[in-house]
Structure 1
Amino acid sequence: MQVDSLVHIPAAGGYGSVMGLGEDGSVEVELIDPGADDFSLRLPLANVGELEHARDADLEALARSLALLHLRVSRALDLDRSFDLYVGRTEDAALDLWFGGGRRRPRRLRTLSAAEGEALASTLAKLALDAWRHGGPREDTRTLDGWGWSCEVIGGGRGASGFGRQRPFEGMEGLCDVLMRLGAPIGWEDDAPGAVPCAL
Protein backbone atom coordinates (compact mmCIF):
# COMPACT_ATOMS: atom_id res chain seq x y z
CA MET A 1 0.00 0.00 0.00
CA GLN A 2 1.22 3.50 -0.85
CA VAL A 3 0.02 7.09 -1.11
CA ASP A 4 -2.78 7.35 -3.72
CA SER A 5 -3.71 3.66 -3.38
CA LEU A 6 -7.45 3.07 -3.52
CA VAL A 7 -8.92 1.17 -0.58
CA HIS A 8 -12.16 -0.32 0.67
CA ILE A 9 -13.21 0.72 4.18
CA PRO A 10 -15.70 -1.84 5.55
CA ALA A 11 -16.51 0.21 8.68
CA ALA A 12 -17.54 3.18 6.54
CA GLY A 13 -19.21 1.04 3.89
CA GLY A 14 -17.29 2.78 1.13
CA TYR A 15 -14.01 3.64 -0.52
CA GLY A 16 -11.14 6.04 -0.12
CA SER A 17 -7.73 7.14 -1.34
CA VAL A 18 -4.64 6.82 0.85
CA MET A 19 -3.24 10.21 1.86
CA GLY A 20 -0.50 9.02 4.19
CA LEU A 21 0.92 6.05 6.12
CA GLY A 22 1.82 6.44 9.79
CA GLU A 23 4.80 4.86 11.54
CA ASP A 24 2.35 3.59 14.17
CA GLY A 25 0.63 1.30 11.66
CA SER A 26 -2.16 3.75 10.85
CA VAL A 27 -3.33 5.03 7.50
CA GLU A 28 -4.86 8.41 6.64
CA VAL A 29 -7.63 8.04 4.08
CA GLU A 30 -9.66 10.58 2.13
CA LEU A 31 -13.17 9.20 1.76
CA ILE A 32 -14.67 9.12 -1.73
CA ASP A 33 -18.25 9.58 -0.59
CA PRO A 34 -20.63 12.42 -1.56
CA GLY A 35 -22.59 12.07 1.68
CA ALA A 36 -19.66 12.03 4.10
CA ASP A 37 -19.54 14.63 6.88
CA ASP A 38 -15.82 14.12 7.46
CA PHE A 39 -13.80 13.33 4.36
CA SER A 40 -10.57 12.44 6.21
CA LEU A 41 -10.12 9.41 8.47
CA ARG A 42 -7.15 7.91 10.30
CA LEU A 43 -7.56 4.18 10.77
CA PRO A 44 -5.48 1.14 11.70
CA LEU A 45 -3.98 -0.31 8.55
CA ALA A 46 -5.73 -3.62 9.27
CA ASN A 47 -9.11 -1.85 8.94
CA VAL A 48 -8.74 -1.05 5.24
CA GLY A 49 -8.40 -3.30 2.23
CA GLU A 50 -6.30 -2.22 -0.72
CA LEU A 51 -8.02 -2.54 -4.09
CA GLU A 52 -6.25 -4.24 -6.96
CA HIS A 53 -4.91 -1.62 -9.36
CA ALA A 54 -6.75 -1.69 -12.69
CA ARG A 55 -4.83 -0.69 -15.78
CA ASP A 56 -6.42 0.84 -18.87
CA ALA A 57 -6.85 -2.60 -20.42
CA ASP A 58 -8.94 -3.65 -17.39
CA LEU A 59 -11.36 -0.73 -17.50
CA GLU A 60 -13.99 -2.42 -19.66
CA ALA A 61 -14.47 -5.23 -17.13
CA LEU A 62 -14.26 -2.79 -14.21
CA ALA A 63 -16.87 -0.49 -15.77
CA ARG A 64 -19.34 -3.37 -16.12
CA SER A 65 -19.23 -3.83 -12.33
CA LEU A 66 -18.99 -0.11 -11.52
CA ALA A 67 -19.37 0.71 -7.83
CA LEU A 68 -18.15 4.31 -7.83
CA LEU A 69 -16.97 7.03 -10.20
CA HIS A 70 -15.60 10.29 -8.83
CA LEU A 71 -14.47 13.20 -11.00
CA ARG A 72 -13.16 16.36 -9.33
CA VAL A 73 -12.25 19.49 -11.27
CA SER A 74 -10.63 22.52 -9.60
CA ARG A 75 -10.65 25.80 -11.49
CA ALA A 76 -8.20 27.95 -9.45
CA LEU A 77 -9.59 31.49 -9.26
CA ASP A 78 -12.82 30.54 -11.05
CA LEU A 79 -14.18 28.66 -8.05
CA ASP A 80 -17.78 28.62 -9.25
CA ARG A 81 -16.73 26.37 -12.14
CA SER A 82 -15.05 23.81 -9.87
CA PHE A 83 -17.05 20.67 -9.15
CA ASP A 84 -17.22 17.23 -7.56
CA LEU A 85 -19.23 14.63 -9.46
CA TYR A 86 -20.05 11.11 -8.31
CA VAL A 87 -21.85 8.12 -9.75
CA GLY A 88 -22.36 5.53 -7.03
CA ARG A 89 -23.96 2.10 -6.76
CA THR A 90 -26.83 1.97 -4.26
CA GLU A 91 -27.86 -0.93 -2.03
CA ASP A 92 -30.52 -1.91 -4.57
CA ALA A 93 -27.90 -1.98 -7.38
CA ALA A 94 -29.01 1.27 -9.05
CA LEU A 95 -26.56 4.01 -10.05
CA ASP A 96 -27.11 7.48 -8.57
CA LEU A 97 -25.64 10.70 -9.97
CA TRP A 98 -24.40 13.24 -7.40
CA PHE A 99 -23.06 16.72 -8.07
CA GLY A 100 -21.64 19.65 -6.13
CA GLY A 101 -20.47 22.83 -7.88
CA GLY A 102 -18.31 25.59 -6.41
CA ARG A 103 -18.47 25.54 -2.60
CA ARG A 104 -21.70 23.55 -2.52
CA ARG A 105 -21.95 20.09 -0.99
CA PRO A 106 -22.75 17.33 -3.48
CA ARG A 107 -26.40 16.34 -3.69
CA ARG A 108 -28.13 13.53 -5.50
CA LEU A 109 -29.51 14.61 -8.86
CA ARG A 110 -31.10 11.44 -10.20
CA THR A 111 -30.96 7.67 -10.64
CA LEU A 112 -29.65 6.41 -13.97
CA SER A 113 -31.66 4.02 -16.10
CA ALA A 114 -30.14 0.68 -17.12
CA ALA A 115 -29.48 2.05 -20.62
CA GLU A 116 -27.79 5.13 -19.19
CA GLY A 117 -25.61 2.94 -16.99
CA GLU A 118 -24.57 0.97 -20.05
CA ALA A 119 -23.71 4.16 -21.94
CA LEU A 120 -21.58 5.33 -19.01
CA ALA A 121 -19.81 1.97 -18.76
CA SER A 122 -18.97 2.04 -22.48
CA THR A 123 -17.42 5.48 -22.06
CA LEU A 124 -15.43 4.51 -18.96
CA ALA A 125 -13.98 1.55 -20.84
CA LYS A 126 -12.26 3.98 -23.23
CA LEU A 127 -10.49 6.10 -20.61
CA ALA A 128 -6.70 6.22 -20.34
CA LEU A 129 -5.62 6.89 -16.75
CA ASP A 130 -2.39 4.84 -16.56
CA ALA A 131 -0.15 7.74 -17.55
CA TRP A 132 -1.74 9.93 -14.86
CA ARG A 133 -1.62 7.56 -11.88
CA HIS A 134 1.12 9.65 -10.22
CA GLY A 135 0.31 13.01 -11.77
CA GLY A 136 1.21 12.53 -15.43
CA PRO A 137 3.20 15.01 -17.51
CA ARG A 138 4.30 17.99 -15.45
CA GLU A 139 2.94 21.35 -16.51
CA ASP A 140 3.61 24.85 -15.19
CA THR A 141 1.41 25.06 -12.08
CA ARG A 142 2.07 28.73 -11.35
CA THR A 143 -0.65 30.17 -13.58
CA LEU A 144 -3.47 31.78 -11.59
CA ASP A 145 -6.16 30.71 -14.03
CA GLY A 146 -5.04 27.08 -14.20
CA TRP A 147 -7.13 24.00 -13.58
CA GLY A 148 -6.64 20.52 -12.23
CA TRP A 149 -8.50 17.25 -11.95
CA SER A 150 -8.61 13.90 -10.19
CA CYS A 151 -10.58 10.82 -11.15
CA GLU A 152 -11.28 7.47 -9.49
CA VAL A 153 -13.13 4.53 -11.05
CA ILE A 154 -13.90 1.58 -8.74
CA GLY A 155 -15.66 -1.74 -9.28
CA GLY A 156 -15.31 -5.47 -8.77
CA GLY A 157 -12.59 -5.11 -6.13
CA ARG A 158 -10.38 -3.07 -8.45
CA GLY A 159 -9.74 0.60 -8.94
CA ALA A 160 -8.12 3.00 -11.40
CA SER A 161 -7.20 6.59 -10.63
CA GLY A 162 -5.21 9.57 -11.82
CA PHE A 163 -4.72 13.28 -11.34
CA GLY A 164 -3.24 16.11 -13.35
CA ARG A 165 -3.10 19.81 -14.15
CA GLN A 166 -3.66 21.87 -17.26
CA ARG A 167 -4.22 18.86 -19.52
CA PRO A 168 -7.15 16.41 -19.69
CA PHE A 169 -6.68 12.66 -19.68
CA GLU A 170 -7.55 10.75 -22.84
CA GLY A 171 -11.31 10.24 -22.96
CA MET A 172 -12.12 13.03 -20.51
CA GLU A 173 -14.08 15.15 -22.98
CA GLY A 174 -16.15 12.14 -24.07
CA LEU A 175 -16.83 11.25 -20.43
CA CYS A 176 -17.95 14.80 -19.67
CA ASP A 177 -20.21 14.78 -22.74
CA VAL A 178 -21.94 11.60 -21.49
CA LEU A 179 -22.24 13.02 -17.97
CA MET A 180 -23.80 16.20 -19.40
CA ARG A 181 -26.37 14.11 -21.24
CA LEU A 182 -27.09 12.25 -18.00
CA GLY A 183 -27.96 15.54 -16.32
CA ALA A 184 -24.73 16.84 -14.80
CA PRO A 185 -24.60 20.66 -15.03
CA ILE A 186 -21.14 20.85 -16.57
CA GLY A 187 -19.70 22.15 -19.82
CA TRP A 188 -16.50 21.96 -21.87
CA GLU A 189 -14.78 25.17 -22.89
CA ASP A 190 -11.20 26.06 -23.86
CA ASP A 191 -10.10 22.40 -23.64
CA ALA A 192 -11.25 22.06 -20.03
CA PRO A 193 -14.42 21.05 -18.15
CA GLY A 194 -16.24 23.21 -15.64
CA ALA A 195 -19.48 23.52 -13.75
CA VAL A 196 -22.18 25.63 -15.33
CA PRO A 197 -22.18 28.76 -13.11
CA CYS A 198 -25.20 29.11 -10.81
CA ALA A 199 -26.58 25.76 -11.98
CA LEU A 200 -26.71 24.48 -8.39
Structure 2
Amino acid sequence: MEISITRSLSEIKMLNKRISRKISDSIFGGYSVGKKVMTGYDTKEDLEQTVKSDFDSVNDLIARRNEVKSAIVMSNATTKVEIAGVKYTVAEAIERKSSIEYEEHLLNRLKNTYTQIVSRVDDVNDDMNRRLDKHLETLFSKEAKTDVQQTDSVVKSFKEQNEAKLIDPIGLKTQIEKLEQKIEDFLTEVDHVLSTSNAITTINVSE
Protein backbone atom coordinates (compact mmCIF):
# COMPACT_ATOMS: atom_id res chain seq x y z
CA MET A 1 0.00 0.00 0.00
CA GLU A 2 1.33 3.42 -0.97
CA ILE A 3 0.76 6.30 1.44
CA SER A 4 2.18 9.80 1.79
CA ILE A 5 4.71 10.72 4.45
CA THR A 6 2.15 13.12 5.90
CA ARG A 7 -0.35 10.30 6.35
CA SER A 8 2.30 7.94 7.70
CA LEU A 9 3.38 10.50 10.32
CA SER A 10 -0.24 10.77 11.45
CA GLU A 11 -0.39 6.99 11.69
CA ILE A 12 2.77 6.96 13.81
CA LYS A 13 1.19 9.41 16.27
CA MET A 14 -1.94 7.28 16.44
CA LEU A 15 0.09 4.10 16.93
CA ASN A 16 2.11 5.70 19.73
CA LYS A 17 -1.10 6.38 21.63
CA ARG A 18 -2.61 2.97 20.89
CA ILE A 19 0.54 1.11 21.95
CA SER A 20 0.79 3.00 25.24
CA ARG A 21 -2.90 2.53 25.97
CA LYS A 22 -2.87 -1.16 25.02
CA ILE A 23 0.16 -1.92 27.19
CA SER A 24 -1.45 -0.15 30.14
CA ASP A 25 -4.81 -1.88 29.69
CA SER A 26 -3.58 -5.39 28.86
CA ILE A 27 -3.49 -8.43 31.10
CA PHE A 28 -0.22 -10.35 30.77
CA GLY A 29 -0.72 -12.93 33.50
CA GLY A 30 -2.88 -13.87 36.46
CA TYR A 31 -3.43 -16.36 39.23
CA SER A 32 -5.93 -18.75 40.69
CA VAL A 33 -6.74 -19.74 44.23
CA GLY A 34 -7.76 -23.36 44.32
CA LYS A 35 -10.12 -23.68 41.38
CA LYS A 36 -11.11 -20.01 41.41
CA VAL A 37 -9.47 -17.81 38.78
CA MET A 38 -8.73 -14.15 39.52
CA THR A 39 -11.69 -11.79 39.48
CA GLY A 40 -13.13 -11.10 36.03
CA TYR A 41 -12.56 -14.53 34.50
CA ASP A 42 -14.74 -17.64 34.68
CA THR A 43 -12.07 -20.17 33.78
CA LYS A 44 -8.32 -20.54 33.48
CA GLU A 45 -8.76 -20.88 29.72
CA ASP A 46 -10.55 -17.52 29.50
CA LEU A 47 -7.68 -15.81 31.28
CA GLU A 48 -5.05 -17.55 29.16
CA GLN A 49 -6.85 -16.54 25.97
CA THR A 50 -7.05 -12.91 27.11
CA VAL A 51 -3.34 -12.84 28.03
CA LYS A 52 -2.29 -14.28 24.66
CA SER A 53 -4.64 -11.99 22.76
CA ASP A 54 -3.43 -8.87 24.57
CA PHE A 55 0.21 -9.85 24.11
CA ASP A 56 -0.27 -10.50 20.39
CA SER A 57 -2.17 -7.23 19.93
CA VAL A 58 0.59 -5.18 21.53
CA ASN A 59 3.25 -6.87 19.41
CA ASP A 60 1.20 -6.38 16.25
CA LEU A 61 0.90 -2.65 16.97
CA ILE A 62 4.64 -2.37 17.68
CA ALA A 63 5.47 -4.27 14.49
CA ARG A 64 3.22 -1.97 12.46
CA ARG A 65 4.84 1.09 13.99
CA ASN A 66 8.31 -0.27 13.27
CA GLU A 67 7.39 -0.95 9.65
CA VAL A 68 5.97 2.51 9.04
CA LYS A 69 8.74 4.26 10.96
CA SER A 70 11.47 2.38 9.09
CA ALA A 71 9.91 3.32 5.75
CA ILE A 72 9.80 6.99 6.81
CA VAL A 73 13.44 6.90 7.94
CA MET A 74 14.56 5.35 4.65
CA SER A 75 12.60 7.92 2.66
CA ASN A 76 13.96 10.82 4.70
CA ALA A 77 17.51 9.60 4.12
CA THR A 78 17.13 9.76 0.34
CA THR A 79 14.53 12.45 -0.42
CA LYS A 80 16.16 15.78 -1.34
CA VAL A 81 14.87 19.26 -0.51
CA GLU A 82 16.25 22.77 -0.95
CA ILE A 83 16.05 25.28 1.89
CA ALA A 84 17.36 28.84 1.53
CA GLY A 85 19.46 27.80 -1.45
CA VAL A 86 21.07 24.83 0.31
CA LYS A 87 20.30 21.21 -0.59
CA TYR A 88 19.60 18.72 2.18
CA THR A 89 18.13 15.29 2.54
CA VAL A 90 14.93 15.48 4.58
CA ALA A 91 16.78 13.74 7.41
CA GLU A 92 19.51 16.39 7.35
CA ALA A 93 16.94 19.20 7.34
CA ILE A 94 15.11 17.67 10.30
CA GLU A 95 18.38 17.26 12.19
CA ARG A 96 19.44 20.84 11.52
CA LYS A 97 16.06 22.12 12.66
CA SER A 98 16.31 20.15 15.90
CA SER A 99 19.91 21.25 16.57
CA ILE A 100 19.75 24.85 15.36
CA GLU A 101 19.57 25.89 19.01
CA TYR A 102 23.36 25.52 19.08
CA GLU A 103 23.72 28.04 16.26
CA GLU A 104 21.29 30.35 18.07
CA HIS A 105 23.31 29.96 21.27
CA LEU A 106 26.49 30.82 19.37
CA LEU A 107 24.78 33.85 17.81
CA ASN A 108 23.68 35.15 21.21
CA ARG A 109 27.17 34.63 22.62
CA LEU A 110 28.77 36.50 19.70
CA LYS A 111 26.31 39.37 20.10
CA ASN A 112 26.91 39.62 23.84
CA THR A 113 30.68 39.50 23.39
CA TYR A 114 30.64 42.19 20.70
CA THR A 115 28.36 44.47 22.71
CA GLN A 116 30.44 44.09 25.86
CA ILE A 117 33.86 44.67 24.32
CA VAL A 118 32.71 47.62 22.18
CA SER A 119 31.08 49.19 25.23
CA ARG A 120 34.22 48.62 27.30
CA VAL A 121 36.50 50.08 24.64
CA ASP A 122 34.25 53.14 24.33
CA ASP A 123 34.21 53.65 28.10
CA VAL A 124 37.98 53.32 28.40
CA ASN A 125 38.58 55.74 25.53
CA ASP A 126 36.09 58.29 26.86
CA ASP A 127 37.96 58.24 30.14
CA MET A 128 41.29 58.41 28.30
CA ASN A 129 40.20 61.50 26.37
CA ARG A 130 39.19 63.26 29.59
CA ARG A 131 42.54 62.43 31.17
CA LEU A 132 44.36 63.50 28.01
CA ASP A 133 42.72 66.92 28.10
CA LYS A 134 43.78 67.39 31.71
CA HIS A 135 47.26 66.15 30.88
CA LEU A 136 47.62 68.69 28.08
CA GLU A 137 46.36 71.50 30.28
CA THR A 138 48.94 70.58 32.88
CA LEU A 139 51.83 70.43 30.42
CA PHE A 140 51.09 73.47 28.29
CA SER A 141 49.73 76.91 28.64
CA LYS A 142 46.92 77.94 26.30
CA GLU A 143 49.47 79.62 24.07
CA ALA A 144 51.67 76.56 24.01
CA LYS A 145 48.78 74.44 22.86
CA THR A 146 49.02 76.14 19.52
CA ASP A 147 52.31 74.28 18.95
CA VAL A 148 50.65 71.55 16.94
CA GLN A 149 53.74 69.40 16.43
CA GLN A 150 54.59 69.25 20.12
CA THR A 151 50.98 68.63 21.10
CA ASP A 152 50.62 65.84 18.55
CA SER A 153 53.70 64.14 19.94
CA VAL A 154 52.28 64.17 23.46
CA VAL A 155 48.87 62.98 22.26
CA LYS A 156 50.42 60.14 20.27
CA SER A 157 52.52 58.98 23.21
CA PHE A 158 49.60 59.20 25.63
CA LYS A 159 47.28 57.23 23.35
CA GLU A 160 49.87 54.53 22.73
CA GLN A 161 49.90 53.85 26.46
CA ASN A 162 46.23 54.37 27.29
CA GLU A 163 43.98 53.90 24.25
CA ALA A 164 41.78 50.79 24.15
CA LYS A 165 41.49 48.87 20.88
CA LEU A 166 39.31 45.94 19.85
CA ILE A 167 40.98 42.57 19.40
CA ASP A 168 38.67 40.98 16.85
CA PRO A 169 40.42 38.32 14.75
CA ILE A 170 37.18 36.74 13.43
CA GLY A 171 35.35 39.96 12.51
CA LEU A 172 32.54 39.67 15.05
CA LYS A 173 30.12 42.11 13.41
CA THR A 174 30.36 40.35 10.04
CA GLN A 175 30.08 36.90 11.60
CA ILE A 176 27.00 37.98 13.56
CA GLU A 177 25.29 39.33 10.45
CA LYS A 178 26.08 36.20 8.41
CA LEU A 179 24.98 33.74 11.10
CA GLU A 180 21.82 35.69 11.91
CA GLN A 181 20.81 35.72 8.23
CA LYS A 182 21.66 32.03 7.84
CA ILE A 183 19.48 31.03 10.80
CA GLU A 184 16.62 33.32 9.77
CA ASP A 185 16.59 32.08 6.17
CA PHE A 186 16.54 28.43 7.26
CA LEU A 187 13.81 28.83 9.88
CA THR A 188 11.66 30.88 7.51
CA GLU A 189 11.55 28.09 4.93
CA VAL A 190 12.13 24.77 6.68
CA ASP A 191 8.60 24.02 7.92
CA HIS A 192 6.95 24.86 4.60
CA VAL A 193 9.51 22.90 2.59
CA LEU A 194 9.25 19.82 4.80
CA SER A 195 5.44 19.94 4.83
CA THR A 196 5.35 20.15 1.04
CA SER A 197 7.84 17.30 0.69
CA ASN A 198 5.91 15.12 3.14
CA ALA A 199 2.67 15.71 1.24
CA ILE A 200 4.06 14.63 -2.15
CA THR A 201 6.50 11.89 -1.07
CA THR A 202 5.09 8.39 -0.67
CA ILE A 203 6.24 5.15 0.97
CA ASN A 204 5.11 1.55 0.59
CA VAL A 205 3.80 -0.31 3.63
CA SER A 206 1.61 -3.36 4.13
CA GLU A 207 -2.13 -2.88 4.35
How would you bin the TM-score normalised by the shorter chain? under 0.3
Higher helix share: 2
TM-score by length of structure 1 reads: 0.19
Higher RCO, 1 or 2 (CA under 8 Å, sep at least 6)?
Answer: 2
What is the TM-score of this pair, normalised by structure 2? 0.19
